[in-house]
């Protein structure tokens, strides 16, 4: 599996030997088919550069999606994505972890909500823990994510979940089980991505509809980087405190990350369910727990 560290300067990918769960894992640049399978509309997913990148297509006939071949318990997953350019209103490009269970679902979502040309791109994050979701937050990105590739990362360990855009944490969800707050740690999750039509809600709450005259719509992915405890796998892997993603430097934001996080929260958050009194007259307990 390919490994990418957002804390290393310059975005350079380092290849090294990693010891995890007493198994030696050699980091490699992953190709699409090594780690993923198409879940729907194979005709709308095109491999590029011998599978080191892919193109997803949305048109009036179909969207498309793919998923990891393996589920994981804890770890970190990141992808470089170039989003749909131009008038992308009504489209959603999603990158998420999902337990794929019906009643007690765990899920960690990046959803990139298309826009009318010239408007900021919005990324919505959501967290499902023990079947309870409705924890949406939305951030307007401070760059054009359709002009070039940017790295989107989810770190998931026993201490917290962190969503990163490049080196900037945009959301932190702490493990506060001691306070009775659900935290996803009992189910393995697969890595999924889709490009699909959602013009009933995606752009300005559904006011902006998809303009099919602009179709087809394309999103591009590369550098498929996953590191975690594969399931099935060694029984003690997920609980092993020696896993690198459980290390001290990954248990809380460092000083630089904390400053970047505050900057994002102060300048780019446009919706936070924690402050939506119409939906939650009583503030949800995880919103009071801090990071």
Active site residues: 107, 111
- What is the Cα–Cα distance from 238 to 242, expressed in whole angstroms? 10
- What is the Cα–Cα distance from 72 to 70, expressed in whole angstroms? 7
- What is the Cα–Cα distance from 90 to 88, expressed in whole angstroms? 6
The alpha-helical segments, DSSP class H, found in the chain are: 32-35, 255-267
Beta carbons within 8 Å of 13's beta carbon, 6+ residues apart: 2, 3, 4, 29, 223, 225
- What is the Cα–Cα distance from 43 to 270, expressed in whole angstroms? 36
- What is the Cα–Cα distance from 98 to 130, expressed in whole angstroms? 12
């Amino acid at each position: 599996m390919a490994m990418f560290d957002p804390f290393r300067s310059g975005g350079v990918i380092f290849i090294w030997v990693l010891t995890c769960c007493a198994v030696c894992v050699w980091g490699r640049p992953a190709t699409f088919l090594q780690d993923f399978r198409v879940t729907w509309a194979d005709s709308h997913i095109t491999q590029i550069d011998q599978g080191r990148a892919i193109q997803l297509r949305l048109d009036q006939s179909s969207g498309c999606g793919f998923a990891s071949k393996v589920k994981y318990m804890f770890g970190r997953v990141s992808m470089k994505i170039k989003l749909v350019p131009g008038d992308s209103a009504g489209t959603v490009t999603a990158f998420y972890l999902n337990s794929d269970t019906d009643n007690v679902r765990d899920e960690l979502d990046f959803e990139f909500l298309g826009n009318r040309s010239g408007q900021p791109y919005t990324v919505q994050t959501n967290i499902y823990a023990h079947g309870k979701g409705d924890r949406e937050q939305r951030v307007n990105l401070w760059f054009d994510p359709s002009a070039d590739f940017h790295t989107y990362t989810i770190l998931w360990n026993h201490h917290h979940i962190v969503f990163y855009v490049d080196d900037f944490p945009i959301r932190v969800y702490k493990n506060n089980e001691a306070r009775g707050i659900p935290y996803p740690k009992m189910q393995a999750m697969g890595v999924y991505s889709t490009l699909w039509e959602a013009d009933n809600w995606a752009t300005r709450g559904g006011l902006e509809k998809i303009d099919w005259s602009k179709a087809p719509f394309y999103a591009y992915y590369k550098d498929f980087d996953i590191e975690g405890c594969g399931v099935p796998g060694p029984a003690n892997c997920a609980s092993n405190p020696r896993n690198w993603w459980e290390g001290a430097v990954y248990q809380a934001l460092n000083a630089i990350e904390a400053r970047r996080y505050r900057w994002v929260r102060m300048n780019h958050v446009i919706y936070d369910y924690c402050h939506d009194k119409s939906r939650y007259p009583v503030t949800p307990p995880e919103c009071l727990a801090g990071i």
